[in-house]
Amino acid sequence: MGVFRHDEIIETDSVYMVNLPTPPARFFASDNFSGAHPRYIDALSRANKGHVPAYGNDALSHRANELFNELCGVDVEMLCVFGGTGSNVVALGNVLQPAESVLCTQWSHINVDETGAPEKLLGAKLQDVTSVDGKLRVSDIEQAAQAIGNIHHVQPGVVSITQATELGTLYSADEISNICDAAHSFGMRVHLDGARIANAVAALGGNAATFRSLTFDAGVDVVSFGGTKNAMLGAEVVLLPRTQNSTRGKLIRKQFTQMPSKQRFISAQFVTALEDGFWIETAAHANAMALRLYEALADIESLQLVRPAVNSLYPIVEPAVKKALQEWSFFWDWDLTAHQVRWMTSWDTTAEDVDAFALGVRQALGFS
């Protein structure tokens, strides 16, 4: 048992005690904890003038779609939605057929953190496969494909991958291309959950060509493109290659209650993000802050830190120290059985935040 105060940790079962410094100004819990970047607030303010056509028929929405066409290298249907779960449900709804399942890893957001929304709203089974690093592999697709043609089995219809993954790992462009080739060879489609696609793009090249190599050039069929975790305010979009039947996507979005009437406020943010590559800049900063935190603590072997690929770290912290640190500067548990937690940086994390947090961790663990 322990008693925690703002300036000290006391272990009542031992003589262990440590004073903690002033906590950082920002938390290392989630990139959802951060606010919106002032540039996006300014964009919203500029968009908030006068009357314009609703439901995506405004100039800002047309401009945002043009910018996404340029980014994707193909003409896409831009379906603005309100959140990540809605984005994934709308995206999957556009590529699923009756009696089909979605293949994903056991870590995937659609499998763990969407309260069963895909199953309930789509009426589709999620087939989760075990992955030690959050990544799905060609062999998983080949294994699932053995059910094709068996009338008693759900038919694997969609492969859903996440980039960056929930474990902070990354698929290379070649890995995604190989997954798409395998899926398409069995008649499956590929969905990419890109809630943190900006962090992946920043880590793997940092430009539009990188994005294309990870998505449509690789053969991905539909992309959930995240903005909220990357400094925007409730801004997500589904990107679907435009076809003669592109109206279907809008109908599905409406059925799943994700159609914004005043879409200009979402589109305005994406125009700001895409016109000069600002969306990559904010993600690159978050990645850099995670690396700074790693470098400040990598010498502490008990944390078992792995060099971050994007903006998250997954250290091992023993329970008493973890509890004290969480009360000092909150962060989330990740795997309670392994005493693993998650530290995550954001677009607004500063070097001072990182240094203050690292100092607190070092002092809590007895490192000066």
Q: Identify the pLDDT of residue 17.
A: 53
Regarding whether 336 and 249 lie in a shared domain, the answer is no
Domain of residue 65, residue span: 38-275
Q: Which pLDDT score, from 0 to 100, does residue 243 have?
A: 82
- From 249, 275, 301, give the residue that closes a domain: 275
pLDDT in tens, the chain (368 residues): 333 333 344 444 433 457 899 999 999 999 999 999 999 999 999 999 999 999 999 999 999 999 999 999 999 999 999 999 999 999 999 999 999 999 999 999 999 999 999 999 999 999 999 999 999 999 999 999 999 999 999 999 999 999 999 999 999 999 999 999 999 999 999 999 999 999 999 999 999 999 999 999 999 999 999 999 999 999 999 999 998 667 899 999 999 999 999 999 999 999 999 999 999 999 999 999 999 999 999 999 999 999 999 999 999 999 999 999 999 999 999 999 999 999 999 999 999 999 999 999 999 999 97
User: Which among 212, 246, 275 is the end of a domain?
Assistant: 275
Tokens of 142: 């080949």
212 in the same domain as 186: yes
CATH code at 349? 3.90.1150.10
The answer on 210 and 90 residing in a single domain is yes
Say if 31 falls within a structural domain: no
Rounded to 10 degrees, what is the CA torsion of 280, 283, 285, 287? -130
Per-residue pLDDT at 244: 60
pTM comes to 0.94
Which pair of structure tokens corresponds to residue 163? 């980039």
Q: Is residue 255 part of a domain?
A: yes
Among 258, 275, 292, the domain-final residue is 275
What string of DSSP letters covers 292-360? HHHHHHTT-GGG-----SSSEE--B--HHHHHHHHHHS--EEEEGGGTEEEEE--TT--HHHHHHHHHH
User: Is 344:312 a contact under the CB 8 Å cutoff?
Assistant: yes
**344 with 223, same domain?**
no
> In whole angstroms, what is the distance from residue 182 CA to residue 286 CA?
33
Task: Report the C-alpha gap between 241 and 322 in whole angstroms.
Answer: 46
* Tokens 């800002």 belong to residue: 60
Residues 183 and 211 reside in one and the same domain? yes
Q: Where do the H-state alpha helices sit in the chain?
A: 38-47, 59-72, 84-93, 109-112, 117-122, 138-144, 173-185, 197-204, 208-214, 247-255, 264-275, 278-297, 319-328, 351-364
Number of domains in the chain: 2
Residue 33 belongs to some domain of the structure: no
Query: What pLDDT shows up at residue 245?
Result: 67
Q: Do 171 and 304 fall within a single domain?
A: no
**Comparing C-alpha atoms, which of 347, 220, 344, 358 is closest to residue 285?**
347
d(CA 77, CA 316) in angstroms, rounded, equals 43
Give the CATH number, domain containing residue 130: 3.40.640.10
261 and 312 together in one domain:
no
Q: Are residues 97 and 114 in the same domain?
A: yes
Q: Specify the DSSP element, H or E, that contains 129.
A: strand 125-129
What sign does the dihedral 309-194-92-244 (CA atoms) show? negative
How distant is the alpha carbon of residue 103 from its chain centre? 18
Q: Does residue 156 sit within a domain?
A: yes
Residue 183 lies in a domain: yes
* Dist CA 171 CA 213 (whole Å): 11
